[in-house]
A and B are shown apart, each in its own frame.
Chain A
């Protein structure tokens, strides 16, 4: 009887695995039909020891794409409501952490034929007396159709329009020099709650000389320590950042008062190669939900 149940479970497991493979195949096919220019990796890290880097731009579509590489400067900033913005500047940048003036890209313009890829290389030529720490720029990968046609009016007195949809991806570029310190401090936490939602505002400041990149993990627990909900957010604090975190209160027999448990760490990022992460301090605390 038990072996029968075990076998049923095994069959279900095999069927689920087959379905999973089918979904992957389906998504891969769909992405091939509709995908635009693909850019990888999502960050380029250079240093005193490694002054060159690379990035691959791929055109998986059946139409040629015109691709242009440029640089901007911008770090994530937040407003008082905890919303994050990336304000990009491409000229008149005076920030002391800007690498804009001494980073070069090769090539800067290209036409990517269907189903081809191009490696773009970066070279850093930093000034000699660079202070320890991290310097930043954004690699702007701009793509649009390689051949665009403007629709002609069907009659002489008609007006036709064509809006070219241009896509731009801003990739992080970091240059690291000398002794690197990754340190974060939480200046304050405000927590608000309704019957269905707890909203926390976590105000952080970077005390190191590199961007603090890690994970902000928030858990909402009841008086007995049972988890009500949780939220993991990829975190990048360059200077100051106020993050809004929303935690739903799901229906259940939860005992009040609720507690918000916060954990911030540079560990656990799966989207960044381990050698590119700089280990920093870990912050853990909890606060009672009013």
Chain B
């Protein structure tokens, strides 16, 4: 019995070493890519901001307001922030008052608005616009997002954003565009 267990132990240890040999170099290379000449402590706290899905209104019809729902995966705008789990960050969203069609001889503005409940914050990696993770903050004002700690379990924070466009009855047909800017900073540095 004891001998059998010893074999299992040695196989497990061999497996662990092989996995470490296979995976280790890729992780080390990744760290070196980021932090050439920089202290390891700083590499650990690197901050990444990503947009994983644009706020999407789809086709819009003249005279009919269109909502991009923050709880619909295909419509919600999604930002992801990854960094040091537990560290608090300050977030500021610059939201456009309108979208712009700059086609020559066809310029026009398409009004858009964001209500005081158009944002949710999720600090888990499994959360989606439709199904948030545990402890998500919902119905937040995107113009004044609260300072929030990056999730400890997954080192991540996600922002789900909704909005509405208000095309006029004589809105010019065409493609309209605008920028949404998310600024992120650690509050404890």
Contacts and interface: CB of A to CB of B under 8 A. Distances in A.
A86 B92 contact: yes
A156 B87 CA distance: 49
A42 interface: yes
Contacts of A22: 19
Given A41-B39, A160-B59, A3 B188 contact: no
B21 to A, nearest CB: 11
Given A21-B23, A85-B147, A164 B179 contact: yes
Interface residues of A, number: 79
B187 interface: yes
A41 B2 contact: no
B105 interface: no
Interface in A145-160: 150-154, 156-160
A163 B77 contact: yes
Contacts of A154: 59
A38 B48 contact: yes
A256 B151 CA distance: 32
A167 B182 CA distance: 5
B61 interface: yes
Given A24-B23, A234-B87, A161 B60 contact: yes
A92 interface: no
B12 A159 contact: no
A99 interface: no
Interface in B28-83: 30, 33-39, 41-52, 54-57, 59-62, 77, 79-80, 82-83
B175 A151 contact: yes
Contacts of A11: 5, 8-9, 12
Contacts of B48: 31, 35-39
Contact of B49 (A36, A213, A232): A36
A54 B182 contact: no
A63 to B, nearest CB: 11
Choose among A27, A30, A169, A270 the residue with the greatest number of B CB atoms under 10 Å from its CB: A169
A56 B34 contact: yes
B130 interface: no
A163 B8 CA distance: 56
B35 to A, nearest CB: 5
Contacts of B88: 84, 233-234
A60 B82 CA distance: 14
Nearest to A25: B23
A283 interface: no
A273 to B, nearest CB: 4
B35 A170 contact: no
B9 A40 contact: no
A35 B83 CA distance: 11
B15 to A, nearest CB: 6
B87 A14 contact: no
A162 interface: yes
Interface in A233-259: 233-236
Nearest to B38: A41
10 contacts: A7-B9, A11-B9, A39-B48, A41-B38, A54-B37, A157-B62, A163-B99, A164-B179, A234-B186, A270-B44
Minimum-distance CB pairs A-B, first 7: A234-B188, A41-B42, A36-B50, A165-B51, A170-B185, A271-B45, A167-B49
